[in-house]
Homo-oligomer: A and B are copies of this chain.
Amino acid sequence: MEPADAPRFRGLASRGPKRGAGLDVAFAVLNRIAMPTRRTFLHRTAAAAGGLALAAPLAAAPRFPRIFHASGSEKVRMGFIGVGMRGRSHVELAARRTDVEIVAINDIEPRALADTQKALRDAGRPEAEVYDRSPFDYQRMLERRDLDAVIVSTPWEWHVPQAVAAMRAGKAVGLEVSGAADVSECWQLVDAQEETGAPLMFLENVCYRRDVIAVLNMVRQGLFGETVHFECGYQHDLRGVKFNDGVGPYARGAEFGPKGYSEARWRTLHSQFRNGDLYPTHGVGPVMTMIDANRGNRLTRITSMATKSRGLHNYVVDVGGAAHPNASVRFALGDIVTSMIQTSGGETIVMTHDTNLPRPYSLGFRVQGTKGLWMDLNKSLHLEGTSPAHRWEEAQPYLDRYDHPLWRRYGADASGAGHGGMDFFVLHAFVEALKRKEPMPLDVYDAAVMMALTPLSEASVARGGEPMDIPDFTRGRWISRPPIFALTDEY
């Protein structure tokens, strides 16, 4: 199925970064994916099935047209595309669940595969079958009939082709977060989902962060009044992630691309060649749950501006010296990229991308309505009629009182899971919705909107801040789709 001469994935950035080849190689590899037979077959099948999603009337399609759950068993048989640091964390969480079987893993890094098998053994699980023959071996894995679902945790540029391939193979997809390379990728996801009916869950874990989902609870109970304005972002000093010594993931060094390790090998290339909000989902995802985006509301417009780019170059010089080859690399990514987003509901969202400079981690949330606001930076809120006039109040007592039912029920299970427990909930939701044949709480339309913000912000930055329209990926169905995210304590 895959071209015999396909370069191995680790060769992604095998040419010098200065020559701009890294992503080109990656995309060239992707463009050579050859699966016309399967794609044609499934297209035909979908057409024969009546194209349910496409033909559904505007007001009558609040749920997925059909739920794709091949096995029918109580257990979800799961495969993992990508078992690097992020994918392995999902494997470990899945291994804690009695309702999941870990059938297959796919990667091309022997170290990643070995570490994952060890993690399975440590969890008392059988080793999974390995698919490691090439960067395209996930396609062979997807041919397995005993596989219900896959989790995609690969470098960003692989997310869409792998998710699309999985849906077309009839698998449910848990898709790790990223920004798209191009808006057309988002449409590919939407089209594949609508044509196949395969569930897709976007694994935006911050939507389940304990304070964030408590604030969602407060929003829904009307404490902030009508929603008006939001701030959010991804403000995380990633210099130690974008560069390392090529051996350890967080070891100090000035290497990236072919000489880097883990994310430094591929993620940094996006900073070298792209200027926009490269990582919008952790900020905007939670906001979307609070304004019922794609469910009575939608994001309509974005405009972005970027600062000059200094941080990554300075870091290379600081760590590697002025004579280090990477000191002559020009990084396209502005150190701070700010975006403003409008919604059809009249809200605005200000989103900040800040990953190249020294700073404490902060997603910078602000949730503001007609009756008050919450901000996470000062861990405070103000609610009219409750808080002292013109004064902040400590947020924690409110966060405790409005602790989301999910955390009340599953807080103990989440304990020890990655990222303060929220990783538990995002996998939990995927598995539970799948078992119940219910729609995914963060679905393909949410994924498409969030992922589209990256190329749209790039376009806006390149045009000096011109606003860009955000496509309506629901094709009008946002008007009547009801909110479903985290309505109960189930998932």
Task: Report A's interface with B, CB cutoff 8 A.
Answer: 226, 228-229, 237, 301, 303, 305-308, 310-311, 314, 335-336, 338, 340, 342, 345-348, 350, 352, 354, 357-361, 368-373, 375, 377-378, 382-384, 390-392, 464-467
| A378 contacts across to B, CB distance below 8 A | 377-378
| List of B residues within 8 angstroms of A350 by Cβ | 338, 350, 352
Q: Determine how close the nearest CB of chain B comes to the CB of A314; give it in whole angstroms.
A: 6
**Whose C-beta in chain B lies nearest to the C-beta of A352?**
B350
Question: A348–B372 contact, CB under 8 A?
Answer: no
A307 is contacted by which of B228, B375, B377, B384 (Cβ under 8 Å)?
Answer: B228
Contact of A465 among B303, B358, B360 (CB under 8 A): B303
The one of B335, B368, B369 that contacts A229, using a Cβ cutoff of 8 Å: B335
**Complex Cα gap A338–B465 (Å):** 14
Q: Is the CB of A336 within 8 A of B305?
A: no
Partner of A303, one of B228, B348, B383, B467: B467
Given contacts A226-B310, A229-B354, A307-B348, 18 further A-B contacts (CB under 8 A): A228-B307, A229-B336, A301-B464, A301-B465, A303-B465, A307-B346, A307-B347, A308-B346, A336-B368, A338-B350, A340-B465, A342-B464, A354-B368, A357-B372, A357-B373, A358-B382, A359-B390, A360-B391
| A469, closest chain B residue (CB) | B464
Within 8 Å by CB of A466, from B305, B360, B466, lies: B466
Please measure, in the bound complex, the distance between the C-alpha atom of A415 and the C-alpha atom of B228, giving whole angstroms.
39
Q: In whole Å, how far is A419's beta carbon from the nearest beta carbon of chain B?
A: 15
With A340-B340, A348-B336, A360-B392 already in contact, the answer to whether A464 and B467 are too (CB < 8 A) is: yes
- Whether the Cβ atoms of B377 and A390 lie closer than 8 Å is no
| Chain B residues within an 8 Å CB radius of A336 | 228-229, 348, 368
Nearest chain B CB to A299 CB, angstrom units? 12
Q: A228-B307, A229-B336, A307-B228 are in contact. Are A465 and B342 (CB under 8 A)?
A: yes
Q: Are A360 and B348 in contact (CB under 8 A)?
A: no
> Which residue from chain B places its CB closest to the CB of A341 in the assembled complex?
B305
What B residues does A466 contact at CB under 8 A? Answer: 466-467
- Expressed in whole angstroms, the Cα–Cα distance for A306 and B342 within the complex equals 8
Most chain B CB atoms below 10 A, which of A348, A354, A384? A348
Which of B226, B228, B359 lies in contact with A372, CB distance below 8 A?
A: B359
> Can you name 5 A-B residue pairings with CB atoms under 8 Å?
A237-B390, A350-B352, A358-B384, A359-B382, A378-B378
Contact B465 A357 (CB under 8 A): no
- Cβ distance A343 to chain B, nearest Cβ, rounded Å: 9
Q: Give A391's nearest chain B residue, CB to CB.
A: B360
Chain B residues near A368: list those with CB within 8 A: 336, 354, 357, 359
Given contacts A228-B336, A228-B357, A307-B229, contact A375 B377 (CB under 8 A): yes
Chain B residues closer than 8 Å to A464, beta-carbon distance: 301, 342, 467
